[in-house]
Structure 1
Amino acid sequence: MAPSSPATATDYTVVIPAFNASATLARALDSVMAQTVPAREVIVVDDGSPDRADIARIVAGYGGRVTLLLQDNAGPAAARNAGVRASGGEWIAFLDADDSWLPHKMQAQLALASDADVGLLHGAARVDRMSLPAEMGFDLLWRANRICTSMTVVRRSAFERLGGFFEAQGLIGAEDYNLWLRIAHAGWRVRACEGLVGHYTPAEGSLTSRIERCALAEMRNARELGELLGLSRRDIRWKLRTIRTDFARHLIHARDPLPARRLLVHALFERPTLERIVLMSVSYVPTPLLDMRRRLRKGGQQTLYSL
């Protein structure tokens, strides 16, 4: 459970995993240095990056204000865990090297950190996704992950008691959601501050662009974590169907229909719904026709029928 007294509200460490990040790392670090509440320390973890020399040069440019850790490539979870182990802050702020913060980000979030049972803070990273619940319990978080990793701040004691990020390679793409769920399930409060606090700008070829791999990671997470936390088979099956449907929609939008169908067929077999039937049908529509519909779409509204 939560510690007996609240941590110092301004004592935080920033952990940034870096892999092929030389094109964006300076922007991320500049946004950290611009915070109205300065960090205790900033740690960049080079995760066996091919551009290691460039990463080192960028870090050196901050004149000792940034610590660089080196490790063989082991994935983002292992890199974040290594950064936390090397740090001393009572709060850990995670930032990916291709994202950035607004200057008030940490000040706004740490204002919510005084209660001793708060374990996770987050906020919006996209203008079109600013409507976040002020607080999320486990049930709401299980329904959908609305937390951007680069906007999270985790209480160290919560992180350590739960064992940090799980480092299994098959969870890459879902390892962050796995931890948020465990934090909420353990009884820690998950709070969001109002308004935009940063910018989510994934680099070309980043993990989030590998949609099918992320879908498989999310399904593994649902199965393994559901069993670990003692969730009902009904809840786990519902989650798996939801993952298959959501990622099939993303794949169709990315014009990659074959893996979309592979995901949808299982969900359709278990629970046929109008949404899944429409998605399966749309996956067979020729790409030029879908692209024409997208160009003609007015008002910028994203709907099931305007993929």
Structure 2
Amino acid sequence: MSDEIVFSIIMPAYNAEKYIKESIQSVVSQDFISWELLVIDDGSFDKTKDVVTSFDFDNRIKYFYQENSGVARARNLGIEKSRGEYVAFLDSDDLWVSSKLSRVYLELVDKPTVGLLYSNYYCFTDDRNEKVEAVHYPYFNDSMYESLIVLDYIATLTAVVRRTVLIELKGFDESFFGTEDWDLWIRVAEVSEVFFLDERLGFYRIHSGGISKNIERQIRQELAVIEKHRVKCSDNVYSAAKILLKVKQLRGLVSARDIRKNFVLALAGLIALVIQNARGALYLVKVLYISCFLKKY
């Protein structure tokens, strides 16, 4: 293997002092050594910088600061600074298994037409009293691109993308908040192959500070992604995506214990969508495995 960097790992961080040390350590512990870790501090005002610079003994770890501009801009800055052939993503509260990079490398060198590789992973809670196996099947139907428009089933901590593809696509769309990764996976699937590695190579942390906890904002952002790609997908795919989005909204309302007017209206809207878009509903069934659907949502 040459001295060139193989993997650039981008880790955005915002007030991440509580978890980031463990996340960085999971990178340092990799059994594959040709990597650089680019930590992009998105305007933190806690001790994030102190924690990161405590790893100064490893010159593969680089710290960059930007005024608070959001995770999409932070990741794009990381892409701009990256030098590796492949770009991997790890948030400042998630973890990798020690063989993550070595397993991914073996697959990618053997599959030169793959632009994006993703894998399975585990979920765990803050107190680690519970570890739940995540169920993310690769929804292979006629089109990976269309399947991704229906549902984002690629977890960012598992994704590795060829840097040339990221440069071609100009990185993340900074107009999105919390769904910029989903939009990028869709665009990658449009121009290159996507490969699913059925191994659990990471740990996704579930805690109250996650940006996806604001259900209504998340729904609006997901709708924006669907509408962005509306022109390039079939009516069935579009309808299936809208139906699933309405289901998510219903689940969010139930979780919030709102079983009054808004819930009734959302339920009525879902029924109307299914009736008006029977083919979309059938397509949704085709794309999703019921067991995964029930576990994930």
TM-score category by the smaller chain?
A: 0.7 to 0.9
The answer to whether the 8 Å contact 1:28/1:97 transfers is yes
The answer to whether the 8 Å contact 2:26/2:95 transfers is yes
Q: Residue 238 of structure 2 is aligned with which of 236, 249, 269?
A: 236
- Aligned pairs for 1:1-307 (under 5 A) are 11-51=6-46, 54-63=47-56, 64-114=59-109, 115-126=111-122, 127-130=132-135, 132-133=137-138, 137-168=144-175, 171-186=176-191, 188-227=192-231, 230-257=232-259, 260-261=263-264, 263-272=266-275
Paired with 1:151 and 1:138, the residues of 2 have a C-alpha distance of 18
Gaps of 5+ in 1: 1-6, 274-300
Q: Deviations over 1:220-274 (max 9, x none)?
A: 11001223xx22345323312211212322441353446655644433333259x
Instruction: Rate the CA distance shift 1:90–1:236 in 2: closer, same or farther, 3 A.
Output: same
Paired with 2:236 and 2:93, the residues of 1 have a C-alpha distance of 37
Q: TM-score, normalised by structure 2?
A: 0.80
The answer to whether the 8 Å contact 1:11/1:89 transfers is yes
Q: TM-score, normalised by structure 1?
A: 0.78
The answer to whether the 8 Å contact 2:41/2:64 transfers is yes
Pick which of 259-268 and 60-69 moved more: 259-268
Displacement of 1:131:
5.3
Residue identity (%): 28
Paired with 1:255 and 1:271, the residues of 2 have a C-alpha distance of 24
Count of matched residue positions in the alignment of Structure 1 and Structure 2: 265
Structure (1 or 2) with the greater strand fraction: 2
Instruction: Rate the CA distance shift 1:90–1:257 in 2: closer, same or farther, 3 A.
Output: farther
RMSD across aligned C-alpha pairs, in angstroms? 2.8
Paired with 1:99 and 1:234, the residues of 2 have a C-alpha distance of 35
Paired with 1:21 and 1:260, the residues of 2 have a C-alpha distance of 35
Displacement of 1:153:
0.7
The answer to whether the 8 Å contact 2:4/2:34 transfers is no
3-state DSSP class of the match of 1:176?
A: helix
